[in-house]
Amino acid sequence: MATATQERQNVVKLADAGPSCKKLSIEIPAETVSEKLKESLDTLAVEAELPGFRKGRVPRWLIEKRFLPTLRKEAKSELVTSAVGRAIDDLKLKLVGNPGGGNLDKVEIEDGKPFAFEVEVEVLPEFDLPSLEGIAVKKPIIEITDEMVTEELKKFQINEGSLESRDSAEPGDYVTGHAVMTGTDGTEFYNLKGAVIQVPPPEKNGKGMILGIMVDNFSKQLGALKPGATATIKAKGPEQHEVEKIRNADLTITFTADRVDRIIPASMEHIINGFGVADEAALREFIKSRMGMRVQVQQQGAMHSQIAKHLIDNVKIDLPQRMTAQQAGRTLERRRLELMYRGVDSSKIEEHMAELRTASNQAAARDLALFFILHKAGEELKIRVDDAEINARIAQMAFQRNVRPEQLRQELIKTNQVGGVYQQIRDHKTLDAILAKATVTEMPAEEYNKSVKEAEAKV
């Protein structure tokens, strides 16, 4: 049965507050406020226990004296949540982030008085899609060479290799220890025991990663690490970090080494036995077949990237002014899943993620624009995703990572990434639907790569 509080209408006004941002001005009637406070007091009167009084027998004046500030705070929160939710539903607003801003911190509820407040909500931007017909796309034809198979074999040998303990760290070695990241005011962002870093190998030119952040002179700041030694790393927070307070902040990371290890590649015999094949020739043939699937994914990715660039370049869209931590987190999650789908080694994905966090605001804005464009294109093309497609995608990603599908599924559930898999499939199906209408030209991979570099040079 609906209460009078639920039935009474609020006064709601909607106004523009910037690109893809609306201001909600809401006034809750005095009667609703009073009823909410009375309801909270009545509930507490039944449950309250104080010294000298039995449960439910505490005088009302004493309850108000002891608990009224807390009750008002909780009642305010519940009233705001209900009012904003109802306004969003009534106005059919399509939000892309949580409500925020406004004057909520400056206003309080009072018994017998209406409660007026303002909040800002970021909404899906309004824009026109370009024609999705006949977009010019180049398809790279990738040949799997013996050299590519050999490189893939080496990766398997590294992944299946054993650890050899070392007395001191050298380039390429892995160090396990205790890492703590703090800001200039002492705020602790991360405190992780069992953190693993790699001393940059020669090809990295001293650049390395720690706690998800790329550091240009990492090797120099680490110095000669030995078990028990501590290194202090100074770094600048990347612009697109999921934690808003880390962005562009001056950071100090202390790393105390517990152990140093070097990976000793597994023998060819070990790899052959692991895959259950007869000999190296059979193993190479199996790997070549496996890489064929990855090549198809790479071809698809290359063509999708061209479609995405065309859409971004031909859509005029006003994005929300502030790139929120929630938006940055969604972008990074999409990129992580895309790398998994493309078969990138697990050991390399975190390096890619650290690089992505250092991306410019312009690059982040393009990612966000593409998210909105594909959302609208997907609706126009009536793209749908079912459970069978999600299961098939997880199985495909698990095959690329050489793990069981159920193991990957549990990992995705634990990290709240199943929704990201749904979004990835929806985006891919949207891009595939546009690609089906495109004008596709095949060309050798070398020629394709050359054309991409020439196009980038013109930007």
**Location of each CATH 3.10.50.30 domain in the chain:** 162-264
Tokens of 189: 């962002």
Alpha-helical (H) ranges within 314-443 are 325-341, 346-357, 361-380, 387-401, 405-414, 418-435
Predicted confidence band of residue 2 (pLDDT cuts 50, 70, 90): very low
Segments of the chain assigned to CATH 1.10.3120? 136-154+278-458
Q: What is the pLDDT of residues 359-388, one digit of tens each?
A: 766 777 888 889 899 999 999 999 999 999
The chain-wide mean pLDDT, for the chain, equals 87
- Confidence band for 4, pLDDT divided at 50, 70 and 90: very low
* CATH fold for domain 136-154+278-458: Trigger factor, domain 2 (1.10.3120)
For the domain made up of 4-122, give the CATH fold.
Answer: Alpha-Beta Plaits (3.30.70)
Residue 46 binned pLDDT confidence (cut-offs 50, 70, 90): low
Q: Are the C-beta atoms of 118 and 103 separated by less than 8 Å?
A: yes
Span 143-171, average pLDDT: 92
> 255 pLDDT exceeds 50?
yes
**CA torsion, points 116, 122, 124, 126, in degrees to nearest 10?**
80
- Give the CA diameter of the chain: 86
The stretch 163-170 carries a mean pLDDT of 94
The pair of structure tokens assigned to 49 is 């226990």
**Which range, of 293-297, 332-336, 385-389, 390-394, averages the lowest pLDDT?**
332-336
CATH of span 162-264: 3.10.50.30
Residue 96 pLDDT exceeds 80? no
Segment among 155-169, 191-205, 338-352, 373-387 with least mean pLDDT: 338-352
Stated pTM of the model: 0.68
* Residue 326 pLDDT exceeds 60: yes
Outline where DSSP puts E strands in 36-135. Answer: 115-122
Interval 145-174 mean pLDDT = 93
